[in-house]
Structure 1
């Protein structure tokens, strides 16, 4: 009797045990699981990861924690979720929660979460600063700590047209600033007005480059690069303002100061009555205690001095002096940093042109999108042999651009028609201290093989306007 009872209990227990562990796929119960189950680790560099969703629900969807623009995701084949993270330029780890939700028929939703954890960057060589390249409203927050008077210096309205081949034919003018040795200035803001004349702005988007001459060494430094709009839908009264923090240039903005403008379009000549772009410059100098003093400036690369073609840019695959990969253009540069320089920032402005159907050999399976004008490129910064943890990207999305009479919404190689080009500001981490010293610097563009062969004209081939400068500060 006892034996039989014990056996019966044993069988029931076994049946109960198997019932509790039965796969819910077999029972028809709703289920939703994610693999990995808790966290998806990612490196600091840009990359992707995959989440596998297992469910018997007819539909499922996902949401990413608000305020995590660096993390994106998209559904893939076979119930997968492809997660993409941008470069984490910070030295702090960051995370974002992804919630996956499935809804059974007539029942409460089932939710599961996974946390994307991206490692911090170990910065070396240089770090890209989160510095606004330009403003669309007057940046009052920048001048809030100014304590003294404001001095304003304004140019006349400058008609923009093709002034001629070579830098000696650029439009030159002077403006009178307060003499050196006078009040100290905390901030300098440049208001850049785009406008039109005759019937209004020209129909096409062209490059405008504004340079200022440094009296200390005779070098020309680019202040602003701006792209004119597709102006065919604007009348003569149209105008648009952009604002730039040009405080770093204060040592150059003293006394009678020389400027130069290059413009690569509108061949109508000075007396043309056709549609024409204009530019007007207004400098506001605000007195006060400087946050830091710019004590040194040096040029790294400058395609503007390329007088061979007049277009002021270097291209891939050109023969001889115009080849952008020639070390005489973009290669290793050595500098002697003077005593008293505590920090150095590098200003990089690169814009691309041409509809080259060549290829980026290091991008597997990549389809070129009219390089360089409508395609991205990257550059790597190396200081004293130490490579920055991530590259700079030569690209900008124009989807939110203001309406114009042309392809104003197309993403491009760092210019949107009717807007300034984006400038990158890097802080160099390998700065000689105590008495100054040597510093080696290199910017290396991603490899590209042009589709053009033989002697190449500047039209069509992937080419870039390049301006890279250094500014040293006393703190």
Structure 2
């Protein structure tokens, strides 16, 4: 990503209100709802890096089998911000007012994702308790140019018998407002601001529970790994989740095949070399970790741990933008997991 030196952003938002959202599917077992329609996010000229809107989704969530989100990143004739920008889409929890990160992606160089029939596809079924009825959405891009990016976003709701009738989701933490709002890597940070240690209680009525994590690194800090790979964009690292002090889950932030990206018209642009767990013009993958059923109904300690490395501050900073959620499911009505410090 293009390195930022010093920027002060005063955020404003574009608001979109949609009372009668467009439904395009002709299949009675599925409904397609268009939300943002060719909406522009940008920096400068009175524009904003974010757009918000309120949209109407189905309310019978217990009969929803899957929800897929499709994001068209529209850039005809190279008219958009040409850099590989951090971007994501959120839905607001109606109870707490907190924004939940549904998915994250990185813009391709110079072009949009028109080579993908419906754009980026992200399974957001885990958030069906949030994506119900009148729902506020927000789309964000870390663009620093007035050219910005334009997006169209659709949701496919497939009806049928789900794996479990009821589900609930809650964030463990979210440090994901932008690439540089992530957790500093390789240096001391304020644990009151970035708290990677929590206590989690899974409802005893849950039949399955798991963690859903999205993480991407930014920065070119030294010392470099072999081949001049700076942290945290290029350096391959393994992160761990400790449960009750025991190393339990591993997240390998390594190559995911940037050169095989179907958005292969990114010219000019340094899109083929592998980053640490992400690529320009691709969705940042979600990582899933199943929680043992023996832990349901009791409180356990959670800690997210980065691999040891010391930033010598010789060439900028390193950050990990991260969000982790707990998803619980049951065939009986279920409450969210509870998270405490």
Any conservation in 2 of the 1:296–1:341 contact (CA below 8 Å)? no
TM-aligned CA deviation for residue 201 of structure 1: 3.2
Any conservation in 1 of the 2:83–2:109 contact (CA below 8 Å)? yes
| Change over 3 Å in CA distance of 1:215–1:163 after alignment to 2 | farther
Q: 2:258 aligned with 1:393, yes or no?
A: no
Q: What is the CA–CA distance in structure 2 between the aligned matches of 1:465 and 1:336, rounded to whole Å?
A: 24
- Kindly tell me the number of residue pairs found equivalent between the two proteins: 296
Q: What is the CA–CA distance in structure 1 between the aligned matches of 2:294 and 2:43, rounded to whole Å?
A: 41
Q: Which runs of 5+ in 1 are unaligned?
A: 1-146, 269-273, 361-365, 454-458
3-state secondary structure, aligned to 1:339: coil
| Change over 3 Å in CA distance of 1:337–1:183 after alignment to 2 | closer
TM-aligned CA deviation for residue 393 of structure 1: 1.0
Q: What is the CA–CA distance in structure 2 between the aligned matches of 1:203 and 1:431, rounded to whole Å?
A: 49
3-state secondary structure, aligned to 2:128: helix
Q: 2:265 aligned with 1:403, yes or no?
A: yes
Q: What's the C-alpha RMSD, in Å, of the aligned pairs?
A: 3.0
Q: What is the CA–CA distance in structure 1 between the aligned matches of 2:280 and 2:49, rounded to whole Å?
A: 25
Q: 2:68 aligned with 1:189, yes or no?
A: yes
290-299 vs 257-266, which moves further: 290-299
Partner of 2:239: 379
Partner of 1:116: none
TM-aligned CA deviation for residue 399 of structure 1: 2.5
TM-score by length of 2: 0.77
Partner of 1:89: none
Q: 2:194 aligned with 1:333, yes or no?
A: no
3-state secondary structure, aligned to 2:75: strand
Q: What is the CA–CA distance in structure 1 between the aligned matches of 2:136 and 2:327, rounded to whole Å?
A: 19
TM-aligned CA deviation for residue 315 of structure 1: 1.4
TM-score by length of 1: 0.56
Q: Which runs of 5+ in 2 are unaligned?
A: 1-26, 332-341
Greater helix share, structure number: 1
Which of 297, 300, 306 is 1:439 aligned to?
A: 300
| Change over 3 Å in CA distance of 1:368–1:331 after alignment to 2 | farther
Report matched runs for 1:61-210 at 5 Å: 149-155=29-35, 156-162=37-43, 170-178=50-58, 180-181=59-60, 184-196=63-75, 199-210=78-89
| Change over 3 Å in CA distance of 1:264–1:169 after alignment to 2 | closer
Q: Which is bigger in relative contact order (C-alpha 8 A, separation at least 6)? A: 2
Partner of 2:328: 472
Partner of 2:14: none
Any conservation in 2 of the 1:161–1:265 contact (CA below 8 Å)? yes
Structure 1 stretches (4+) deviating beyond 4 angstroms? 236-239, 317-320
Q: What is the CA–CA distance in structure 2 between the aligned matches of 1:183 and 1:319, rounded to whole Å?
A: 45
Larger Rg: 1
Q: What is the CA–CA distance in structure 1 between the aligned matches of 2:186 and 2:149, rounded to whole Å?
A: 33
Any conservation in 1 of the 2:41–2:50 contact (CA below 8 Å)? no
